[in-house]
Structure 1
């Protein structure tokens, strides 16, 4: 595992490596310390990928660059481009499953279905939000997460589009799903 000291340092690591994972965390916060500890435990099992970490107490220029508004956040870069963000603390086995799933998805031969545009509207205290995110991750679906408790404009846009204030809400290619409707999500994403 490599400690990242700055955005420039991260870009140096991204340049030669195909798959890089970066855990952004805040040392001293219980969620972040949990994520960091389990990320370290998962690290020995991960091969063919580069695992890095950065403490936002020390490194201040990475999270604004990638619009990360909460930690812990695990960023996945493929060929230097941010492809996925996984938030929260996960067990070592879950981290390994995330690494393997993304490695499996990115190792595809390009004949897969086109990636849909998926946005999940969440809040930090929403348990169903985590269920949706885990479901998407387990099925190799890339998504963007928007924390509506921190982004007033996004919250207003979400309510304008769905007429609902509750989360989770998932936008799949412009179609809004309120709550965790597994069948509808699977149908729209082509998950069997």
Structure 2
């Protein structure tokens, strides 16, 4: 399984939806709170070229926002 990282922040409804989706499908992921983790925030902006949460990395793939189709495809969920 590819490494999955969720970049999130407090009071982000789409972040909560992504977490529910991942948990519902028993997907293990690492969550990084960009409000508390400056290194994660900087990586999100400089390396992933994303300025919003949720941003999910699945191996080399980057998904910004709650994109159900992209998440389902990247995780091979039917």
TM range (shorter): over 0.9
**Separation of aligned partners in 1, 2:16 and 2:39:** 22
Aligned equivalent of 2:70: 184
Query: Which one scores higher on RCO, CA 8 angstroms, separation ≥ 6?
Result: 2
Give the alignment's TM-score, normalised by structure 2: 0.94
Of 109, 112, 118, the match for 2:4:
118
How much does 1:160 deviate? 1.4
Aligned equivalent of 2:30: 144
**Structure 1 ranges of 4+ moved more than 3 A:** none
Aligned equivalent of 1:153: 39
In structure 1, the gaps of 5 or more residues are: 1-114
CA RMSD, 1 decimal: 0.9
Structure 2 residue 49 is the aligned partner of structure 1 residue 163:
yes
Whose Rg is larger? 1
Structure 2 residue 38 is the aligned partner of structure 1 residue 129:
no
Match of 2:5, SS? strand
Equivalence map 1:97-108=2 (5 Å): none
**Separation of aligned partners in 2, 1:161 and 1:182:** 23
Give the alignment's TM-score, normalised by structure 1: 0.40
The aligned length equals 78
